[in-house]
Chains A and B, each alone.
Chain A
Amino acid sequence: MPFVSEIQRQSDFNHFPSTTPIVIDNGASAFRIGWAGESDPRVIFRNIVQRPRHKATGETVTIVGDHDPSLLKYFDCTRSGPRSAFDGNVVYQFEIMEYVLDFGFDRLGANGPEIDHPVLITECVCNPVQSRSKMAELLFETYGVPSIAFGVDAAFSYMYNQQLGICDKDGLAICPGFTASHVIPFIDGEPVYKGCCRTNIGGYHVTDSLKQLLSLKYPHHMARFTWEKVEDLKMEHCYIASDYASEAQLFQKGTKEAEEKTRCWQLPWIPPPTEEPPSEEEIARKAAIKEKQGQRLREMAEAKRSSRINELENEVRGLEFLLHQLVQVAEDDIPSFLSETGYISKQEIESALTKATQSLRKAKGEPKDEQAETEDHTDATNEKFHLINVPDDVLSPEQLKEKRRQLFLKTTSEGRQRAKQKRYEVELERERRNQLDEERRMENPELYLEELRVKYKELSEKVEHRKRLKTNGGHTNGNNVSGGVGRGERLNAAQRERMRLLTTAAFDRGKGEDTFGARDEDWQLYKLMSKDNNDDDDEGPDEDEAELVRLSSRLQGIDPTFVPKSDVQPTEMPKFRPLTKEDFQIVMGVERFRCPEILFHPNWIGVDQTGLDEMTDVSLRRLPSYSDDIAERLTNSILITGGSCLFPGIRERLEAGIRMIRPCGSPIRVVRALDPILDAWRGASVYAAGSQFTTQTFSRMDYHEKGEDWLRRYQLRYSL
């Protein structure tokens, strides 16, 4: 049963004579205001105030109570949430209280210069006098109320139910409210506050714990659990288990009964569109398109190539023709002839020609003659390097230069040769080793395989360890592959060395003047520091790695079960499971009775006080006139009222709980109020309409004359 506010503006305010009292039930959760003598309050709304900013105009406005949430889209509510005037069950922020009263009176239809009606307003049991006097002051000074009476909501509710014959003159009122629960004993229809007791647990705490539990259980849907929504869930689904332990057992065992008791809230969820595998036709079509595109690209490349070849051929032909002409031209005319062509000398033309022929060859895809040349080198070495063996003093300076060039060329070509030779030898060696391995394998395949595996394992561990040392500085926690130097991550060896050098440079030179750089050695520091990580790699790891590669390839060849440890950890993305309907379900099982159970076990949410059932016992013991007779009379008429007693099963549970505490055989009767929520207002309305009401009010004059101490002792007489 979700909370429904009634905030229609009333139009008949002026029809009521000024003697008709206005009755206000000022509860921590809801504010109810109406006329004395009527059966229902005129205006009901949540006792909260919001001060959001209007988005269009930017002004801060005041919104009291709960409204259509769709209208709040025009306001920026991010700065301030809903605020309450209550701390616990005591009004402490009178600015907010004033907004609430403004709204209440406004909706009741007030429009005169002041509120010219007596006011009966409820307060908590034993309200601190400061709160009481502030409230009186507010009503007197700001609204011009002629007289006020304060009463306790639970007492009005008890009185009202007593008049209806639901409970007796002597009895107990158990009132689990929004922020606190009370037990108030009544004797002869009067509340005995001495025997009263309060536990600071109420519907607020139930909703709060449900909200927290659900958002811990479903962190992804946290935004769904707004206060209003959870409040609705609580009112709709929560119940009190007759025996918590056995009820929880049901759920723990996963019985059928528990399944039936589990409620599921399906959040809006749209199934993702299912992707159909592409049909044969589709695949064929796609392949055709791809093929077509490839064909086009190939054609384009071919056309480009042929045009280039054409171009180059033309150029070569032109140059050849030019050379041919040049031969025929007379010696003296050469410069003038050349100036026309744009070339400076014959050599230039020739070099251009060779260049063009080379690129032509390249374009046609013929092998470069470079390769062929190197092959020729060996044979032609002696001819090419003819100057090498000639002594220096015989040669002219130009020839000397040439000789030096030849020397250089020769050494490089020889070096190349040697490398080739070495490669060949290594190849031979490997071949030999493989052959040896093969022989050994033939002798004892099992043993050989085992050995190979062990070797592989050792080697791979060694290599890995080295790698880790390098990247992670001996930090053996292998799951850190990022290598970045974040918080808590170790530096690698090179970085650590750099750090060490820097710190020694900074701190080892004493506190005096800075002499860094005075000596030349100081600057060596930078050389050391800039040394890169790779520099200190010796041959070792490379060799190991090569061996590792060889072993793994070998193992792969002969061992079908072998899986090589990949170098880089496969950074597999966590696979995204497609979200299903179940991911958008809020399942409420144990929560349904776990949250309201805190009314009986406040210590479950860290409040070290007695629960509802035990409170009755405490309350009876506190009675100054305690006797078994009185206790029996009281327990024979226990009324439960207040918002949190709407949980199904609370009556039976309370009866069982109180029976356990009270002596055997004592009469116990627990009844629920007719309407646990509205009875307090109705009782107050009846009371205010009574002829004796005016004797219980106090005016502004009284308030100022009698002072605070009087107000402290002020107490309504309910049984008039």
Chain B
Amino acid sequence: MEPEVIEAELVLPIHLNFKRIQMYEKYPKGQSRGRHWKHLKQILQAENYHNYSPDEPNYVNIESPPSMHPCKRICDITGYEAPYYDPRTTLRYANADIFKVIRSLPNEYVQRYLAMRNAAVVLR
């Protein structure tokens, strides 16, 4: 290790005195282990919230509902208010100049703009 790296104590030491079980004991090297953690979705599924009273607050039911207000549409490219919508690319746009831009955009960029508002075509 380079002296300045040691100086900065950049690297976490392998052995730490204050730990009862060291990392290398818990996860021995060279042993392949499968995924030992769950994603949030799986965690929430395992919580079985449906078994509990809906009056009890839990991680799922405190989520806020969809908005009651009509959503404002903005131009995907510029962020201006967008009265128009291009049926070919499904992008929203503010005026004719931006429409020209949209029509000249390569498909990859169109998809990236759409992906920003989670509307891109996802191929599985």
Chain A contacts to B: CB under 8 angstroms: 9, 54, 56-57, 61-64, 67-68, 71, 74, 87-88, 90, 92-95, 98-99, 102-103, 105-106, 110-115, 124-131, 141-144, 193-194, 196-200, 209, 212-213, 216, 244-245, 248-249, 251-252, 590-591, 594, 601-611, 614-615, 618, 624
Contact = CB atoms under 8 A, between A and B. Distances in A.
B59 A90 contact: yes
Given A74-B1, A209-B116, 7 more contacts: A56-B1, A94-B37, A95-B27, A144-B20, A248-B74, A590-B79, A591-B79
B50 interface: no
Interface in B8-36: 8-13, 16-21, 23, 26-27, 36
A199 B40 contact: no
Contacts of A252: 78, 80, 94
Closest 6 CB pairs of A and B: A606-B118, A87-B40, A590-B79, A594-B79, A193-B57, A62-B12
Contacts of B79: 248, 590-591, 594
Nearest to B41: A87
B58 interface: yes
Given A95-B27, A212-B116, A245 B38 contact: no
A611 B112 contact: no
Contact of B12 (A56, A106, A251): A106
B12 A99 contact: yes
22 contacts: A74-B1, A87-B39, A92-B38, A99-B12, A113-B17, A115-B18, A126-B58, A128-B43, A128-B58, A130-B38, A130-B47, A142-B21, A198-B64, A199-B64, A216-B112, A590-B79, A601-B71, A605-B116, A606-B116, A609-B64, A614-B64, A614-B67
B68 interface: yes
B38 A63 contact: no
B37 A93 contact: yes
A102 B16 contact: yes
A141 B20 contact: yes
B66 interface: yes
A111 B12 contact: no
B81 interface: yes
Contact of A67 (B2, B10, B64, B78): B10
A93 B40 CA distance: 10
B121 interface: no
B5 A106 contact: no
Interface string B78-122: 111100000000000010000000000000010011001111000
Contacts of A213: 116
A9 B9 contact: yes
B62 A112 contact: no
Given A102-B16, A605-B118, A198 B62 contact: yes
Give the interface residue-count category, chain B: 35 or more
Given A199-B64, A590-B78, A112 B18 contact: yes
A418 B13 CA distance: 100
Given A106-B12, A591-B79, A605-B118, A71 B5 contact: yes
A196 B9 contact: no
User: Which has the most chain B C-beta neighbours within 10 Å: A56, A71, A111, A128?
Assistant: A128
Contacts, number: 176
A333 to B, nearest CB: 94
Contacts of A200: 63
A199 B66 CA distance: 10
B67 A609 contact: yes
Contact of A193 (B1, B62, B63, B68): B62
B72 interface: yes
A113 B18 contact: yes
Contacts of A92: 37-40, 43
Contact of A610 (B17, B37, B66, B109): B66
B44 A245 contact: no
B124 interface: no
User: Which has the most chain B C-beta neighbours within 10 Å: A106, A212, A244, A249?
Assistant: A106
B37 A95 contact: yes
A198 B118 contact: no
A609 B10 contact: no
A128 B65 contact: no
A198 B61 CA distance: 9
A9 B7 CA distance: 12
Contacts of A249: 80-81
A648 B113 CA distance: 27
Contacts of A87: 39-40, 43
User: Which has the most chain B C-beta neighbours within 10 Å: A115, A602, A604?
Assistant: A604
B3 to A, nearest CB: 11
Given A71-B8, A106-B12, A142-B20, A604 B74 contact: yes
Contacts of B43: 87, 90, 92, 128, 130-131
Contacts of B62: 125-126, 193, 196-198
Contacts of A248: 74, 79-81
Contacts of A608: 66-67
Contacts of B21: 141-142
A183 to B, nearest CB: 8
Nearest to B114: A606
A590 B77 CA distance: 10
A216 B75 CA distance: 14
A606 B119 contact: yes
A103 B12 contact: yes
Contact of B63 (A61, A198, A209): A198
A110 B9 CA distance: 15
Given A54-B1, A71-B8, A114 B20 contact: yes
A545 B25 CA distance: 85
B8 A90 contact: no
A618 B65 CA distance: 8
A197 B58 CA distance: 10
Contacts of B71: 601, 603
Contacts of A61: 11-12
A216 B113 contact: yes
B117 A604 contact: yes
B1 A57 contact: yes
B90 to A, nearest CB: 13
A445 B8 CA distance: 91
Contacts of B112: 212, 216
Contacts of A124: 59
A111 B18 contact: yes
Given A61-B11, A63-B12, A92-B39, A128 B63 contact: no
B123 interface: no
Contacts of A113: 17-18, 20
Nearest to B105: A216
Contacts of A126: 57-59, 62
A216 B12 contact: no
A199 B38 contact: no
A199 B63 contact: yes
B117 to A, nearest CB: 5
B84 to A, nearest CB: 14
Contact of A614 (B9, B69, B74, B109): B69
Contacts of B26: 98, 142
B11 to A, nearest CB: 4
Nearest to B55: A194
Contacts of A94: 37
B59 A95 contact: no
Contacts of B118: 605-607
A427 to B, nearest CB: 54
Contacts of A607: 118
Nearest to B17: A111
A116 B55 CA distance: 39
